């Protein structure tokens, strides 16, 4: 059974007066009209309560927060205050989708029942039933998450209209918690290659339309950055949550392998695959884990590793002073490729040091740096060839059944078709490589999986243990987001990012915005730790986030009128 936490509302100020439309009791149990009647007496009492400190008019006004900076906690406060409904919240996000699509080209399918579902959940709330803190909260999914009532395409035109038999486990847990699917969003085709699909083409970075939002969870990255919803889900096999998180200037988590179920997510390589949340705040990452992490899923054996290692409440670790005394390893192996990225990361390190962190420069062993790509591909390509066939076998008749079918269909699209399908030459090249991959009984594959991954995992653990590190930090992408279609220069660094060490080891990696280049492009910093260290990483990331405040409204998705939440 999924774990649903009771809704808790924390108040840092005395918010006892609400807007005239509010009908719920204030924190003193008084209706607004009663509060206005007794306000002079309460002000006088405030001189006595709280060590003779006078409550200021600002503290007595209803709190206001913009939609772009509101957390799920803010939404729940507004729900409780009666100043917001789920129907209104969904309407605000749908208005943003209408305003910025198809320019950003992030959305594959809108949920036509989103408003109806919101109204139903509002009725539940009014009757006294609140399922979880995600009750009535909109969410977007990368279009490789199965949804029983909406198509799941993997971004491949050959799966257009495919309705899977049931929800992915993560999807089902979020629905049970009261989350509302607002849209299925673009993905690199079958979660690999550039940030485009043959189904709808290229997605665009809302901070700069000529820049990549990165892949493969690029549609989710764009949707969260442009705040089409407060919560989105992507998948990560070699950096596919973390690249889009940094390129779009948002927060993202690649969880420990086995913390979240992958059942019902189209596989790329199950040795590495994991689903994970993408948001505009560390708090929203934590609150989402309270719903999606839980008891092992019988449909995903990897989740057995999480037994006894799932936190009761991930938000409990979010403290602003968490960096004080923390030992942070600085992986400079992954710097030196873009001077503005390096300057921004150095500034981030200075913030951590000012918060009391102890910074320790570390070096990755040369053998680890040299084997990254070959080991990854030795496992990734054979697994996709076998595992995509297993997934396709679950679909209705009329859809492709194996890698050979995918390759043949991909080769048919050499120009934009009358139906609007796009050629995807980068993914086509990968299909050709995957079609030639060895079977999963091949000795080289088995050796790579059995011994290679154990070597990486043990080496990374030793690196963390030997320096008594709480986390390792590095620039998630050592270069600013590339121009769409840009080809790397000859002789470019063969190891541009450290991201897939988290996949090779199975360890978690949290991305937090670190700042921007001089031309407004986002830069992210990774907090990488040992298996099931999400509570520690969230604590460190939250402390850094609160000290730095680097989230920004994208240039090409500005605020619309009326996007203010009050409570």
In contact, 174 and 134? CB cutoff 8 Å = yes
180-185 vs 138-142, strand pairing mode: parallel
Give Dmax (Cα) for the chain.
81
Contact 513, 553 (CB under 8 A): no
**Residue 306 is assigned to a structural domain of this protein:** yes
Angle, CA 305 vertex, CA 302 and CA 309 arms, to 5°: 135
The reported pLDDT for the residue numbered 50 is: 42
Among the listed residues 112, 134, 111, 110, the one whose alpha carbon sits nearest the alpha carbon of residue 121: 134
**Per-residue pLDDT reduced to its tens digit, 444-493:** 999 999 999 999 999 999 999 999 999 999 999 999 999 999 876 655 55
> What is the per-residue pLDDT for 487?
75
Q: Are the C-beta atoms of 537 and 311 separated by less than 8 Å?
A: no
Please tell me the pTM assigned to this model.
0.90
Q: Is 123 part of a structural domain of the chain?
A: yes
Low pLDDT (below 70) residues in the chain: 1-61, 488-496
Is residue 278 a contact partner of residue 251, using CB atoms and an 8 Å limit? yes
Q: What tokens does 553 get?
A: 């409204």
Domain harbouring 356, CATH code: 3.90.1300.10
- The residue count for the chain: 567
As a whole number of angstroms, the distance between CA 142 and CA 34 comes to 48
Residue 62 lies in a domain: no
Owning domain of residue 298: 72-556
Q: What is the pLDDT of residue 294?
A: 95
The DSSP output letter for 450 is I
- Asked whether residue 139 is assigned to any structural domain, the reply reads yes
Residue 155 located in a structural domain: yes
Residue 48 lies in a domain: no
pLDDT at 489: 62
Residue 492's pLDDT is 52
> Is residue 403 situated within a structural domain?
yes
Task: Answer positive or negative: Cα dihedral of 292, 294, 296, 297.
Answer: negative
> Is residue 34 included in any domain, yes or no?
no
Catalytic residues: 142, 216, 240
Task: Enumerate the β-bridge partners of residue 138.
Answer: 180
Provide the number of structural domains found in the chain.
1
């Amino acid at each position: 059974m999924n774990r649903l936490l009771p809704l808790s509302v924390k108040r840092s100020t005395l918010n006892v007066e609400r807007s005239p439309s509010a009908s719920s009791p204030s924190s003193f149990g008084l209706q607004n009209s009663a509060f206005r009647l007794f306000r002079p007496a309460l002000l006088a009492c405030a001189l006595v309560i709280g060590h003779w400190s006078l409550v200021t008019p600002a503290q007595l006004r209803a709190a206001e927060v913009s939609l772009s900076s509101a957390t799920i906690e803010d939404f729940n406060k507004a729900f409780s205050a009666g100043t917001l409904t789920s129907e209104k919240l969904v309407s605000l996000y749908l208005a943003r989708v209408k305003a910025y699509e198809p320019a950003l080209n992030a959305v594959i399918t809108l949920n036509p029942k989103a408003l109806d579902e919101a109204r139903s959940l509002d009725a539940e709330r009014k009757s006294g039933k609140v399922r979880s803190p995600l009750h009535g909260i909109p969410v977007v999914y990368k279009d490789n998450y199965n949804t029983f009532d909406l198509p799941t395409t993997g971004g491949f035109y050959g799966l257009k209209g495919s309705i899977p038999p049931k929800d992915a486990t993560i999807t089902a847990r979020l629905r049970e918690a009261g989350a509302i699917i607002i849209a299925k969003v673009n993905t690199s085709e079958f979660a690999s290659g550039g940030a485009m699909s043959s189904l709808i083409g290229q997605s665009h970075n809302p901070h700069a339309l000529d820049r990549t939002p990165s892949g493969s969870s690029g549609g989710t990255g764009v949707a969260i950055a442009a705040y089409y919803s407060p919560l989105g889900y992507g998948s990560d096999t070699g950096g596919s949550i973390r690249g889009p998180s940094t390129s779009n200037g948002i927060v993202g988590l690649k969880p420990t392998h086995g913390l979240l179920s992958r059942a019902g997510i189209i596989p790329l390589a199950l040795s590495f695959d994991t689903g994970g949340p993408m948001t505009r705040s560390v708090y929203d990452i934590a609150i989402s884990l309270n719903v999606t992490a839980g008891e092992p899923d019988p449909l995903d054996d990897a989740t057995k590793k999480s037994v006894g290692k799932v936190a009761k409440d991930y938000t409990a670790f979010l403290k602003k002073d968490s960096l004080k005394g923390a030992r942070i390893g600085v992986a400079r192996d992954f710097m030196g490729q873009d001077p503005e990225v390096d300057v921004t990361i150095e500034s981030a390190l200075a913030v951590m040091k000012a918060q009391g962190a102890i910074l320790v420069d570390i070096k990755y062993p040369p053998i680890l740096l040299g084997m990254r790509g070959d080991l990854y591909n030795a496992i990734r390509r054979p697994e996709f060839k076998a595992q995509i066939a297993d997934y396709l076998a679950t679909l209705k008749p009329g859809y492709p059944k194996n890698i050979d079918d995918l390759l043949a269909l991909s080769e048919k699209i050499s120009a934009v078709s009358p139906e609007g399908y796009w050629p995807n030459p980068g993914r086509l090249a990968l299909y050709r490589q995957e079609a030639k991959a060895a079977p999963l009984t091949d000795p080289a594959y088995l050796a790579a999986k059995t011994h290679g991954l154990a070597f990486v995992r043990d080496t990374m653990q030793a690196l963390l243990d030997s320096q008594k590190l709480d986390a390792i930090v590095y620039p998630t992408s050592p270069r600013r987001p590339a121009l769409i279609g840009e080809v790397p220069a000859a002789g470019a660094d063969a190891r541009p990012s450290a991201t897939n060490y988290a996949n090779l080891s199975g360890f978690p990696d949290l991305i937090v915005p670190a700042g921007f280049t001089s031309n407004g492009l986002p830069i992210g910093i990774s907090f990488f730790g040992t298996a099931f260290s999400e509570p520690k990483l969230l604590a460190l990331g939250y402390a850094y986030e609160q000290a730095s405040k680097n989230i920004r409204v994208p240039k090409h998705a500005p605020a619309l009128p009326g996007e203010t939440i009050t409570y």
